[in-house]
Amino acid sequence: MGELSGRGAKWVNHFAPLHYLVFIGRSRKLMSKPALVQAGFAQNHFRSMSKQQDVRRGFERYVHLTLDEAPRILKAKLTAGFPHFCIRVPTSSVESAAYDLCRYNVAMTRQLRREGKTGFPESRSNGRYYAGMQIPVARTRADKAAMLAEHHRTRVMIEVLVLDFICLPDDTQLVSYAPEDETLARKVLDRLMVPWEVVLSKPPGPYPRNAKYAQQVAQFVDRALSDPTWLGNGLEFDRV
């Protein structure tokens, strides 16, 4: 049994704009930034608020997931009316891949090891610094177990960082936060013949689904479904 499943975690979660579902469903993978670039995606595909931070801090080769079911970024995006969804990846799939854990917000924390600053202290529960990283991570089984023992199910959001990509098995679940989003997600999966279950869940806070943004998402999805060679138009709600 792995460290995550040993803590009773059935799913590890990834949150994304709803219009990305076509690309995720077609590849049946979550991919890191370099892997997406290699697949042909342009730089405007990535979230403008975090893409440079991940690179500068030594985390660009990771797919970012979490054990948290309602992280602050999801609440913020839904509150702003932007259609987003959750991908629940079976914990067994994550534990069969190469992954690290981080108890700090990789994109947002300001306490870094750079320019002579010491950053966060290393410890079994904080993690350790590896080549080029400005934030510590838990990589060994002992460090992962210690980090989870101290911080799992507290107010700390632990990031689960999978190296390069993770394949999404048939028992992957999608969580939608509005009936309209659920309908669109089912349409995408049906067209792509992907067997993932779609679950409608109450949003973790206000979700005044914005009609303008929802229309942009629907138009994006229709074009991506009709043209498998089309890789997007830069629609990215961090810029709004």
Residues of the chain with pLDDT under 70: 48-51, 238-240
Per-residue model confidence (pLDDT) at position 42: 83
pTM of the model: 0.93
pLDDT at 155: 81
Beta strands in 115-196 (DSSP E): 159-163, 165-167, 173-176
Give the three-class secondary structure for 176. strand
**84, β-bridge pairs:** 17
| Predicted local distance difference test score (pLDDT) of residue 215 | 97
pLDDT value of position 88 = 98
Which pLDDT belongs to residue 239? 58
pLDDT on residue 107: 85
| Type of residue found at 195 | P
For residues 81 and 17, the answer to whether their CB atoms sit within 8 Å is no
Handedness of CA 20, 22, 25, 29 (dihedral sign): negative
Residue 48: per-residue pLDDT: 63
Instruction: Using alpha carbons only, give the angle 166, 175, 164 rounded to the nearest 5 degrees.
Output: 15
Query: What is the reported pLDDT for 129?
Result: 96
